[in-house]
Homo-oligomer: A and B are copies of this chain.
Amino acid sequence: MNLKKEQDESQDIKAMQIKDINTSIRKANLKGVINKIVQTGGPTIFSISDGTGNITIKDFVKPGQRAYPEIDEGSFVTALIKVGSYKGVLEGEIRSIEILNEQEKDLLKQEIKRLEIDGIKVKDIGFLVDNRILDKLKNRFILAAQQIKLAIVQERPIIVRHHNDCDGYSAGFALEQSIVPLIVKQHHTPKAQWEFFLRAPCQAPYYEIDDSIRDTSNSLRNAAKFSNRMPLIIIADNGSCEADLMAIKQARIHNIEFIVVDHHGFDKDVISQEVLTHINPFLVGENGSAMSAGMLCVELARYINNDVKNMSHIAAMSGYADRIDLTDERVVLNYLSMAEKEGDNRELLSDIGLVIEYVSSKVRFMEVREYIEVLFGEPRDKQTKLVSLMAPYIRDLDRKGLAIGKAGAIQEKFGNLVLQTIEIDKFFPGFGFFPKPGRAVGLIHDNYVLETSETALITVGIMNTAVTIRATTAANFSIHSLKVFLMEQLPDSFVEGGGHKNAGALNFIPCMKNDVVRLLKEFITQKNKR
Contacts and interface: CB of A to CB of B under 8 A. Distances in A.
A284 interface: no
Contacts of A213: 359, 362-363, 368, 371
A100 to B, nearest CB: 26
Given A221-B370, A429-B509, A403 B42 contact: no
A41 B246 CA distance: 40
A527 interface: no
B45 A382 contact: no
Interface stretch (A133-141, A184-192, A305-313): A184-192
A365 interface: no
A253 interface: yes
A224 B41 contact: no
Nearest to A53: B63
A220 B371 contact: yes
Interface residues of A, number: 79
Contacts of A223: 370
A209 B362 contact: yes
Interface string A34-63: 000001111101000000000000101011
A249 interface: yes
Interface string A495-511: 00000000000010111
A110 interface: no
A370 B62 contact: no
A41 B195 CA distance: 14
B23 A217 contact: no
A324 to B, nearest CB: 28
Interface stretch (A121-129, A338-346, A420-428): A420-428
Interface of A: 1, 21-24, 39-43, 45, 58, 60, 62-64, 85, 87-90, 187-191, 194, 209-210, 213-214, 216-217, 220-221, 223-225, 246, 249-250, 253-254, 359, 362-363, 366, 368-371, 373-374, 382, 385-386, 389-390, 393, 400, 403-404, 407-408, 423, 425-430, 464-465, 492, 494, 507, 509-511
Of all A-B residue pairs in the complex, the 5 with the closest CB atoms, nearest first, are A42-B88, A41-B189, A220-B370, A40-B88, A217-B368
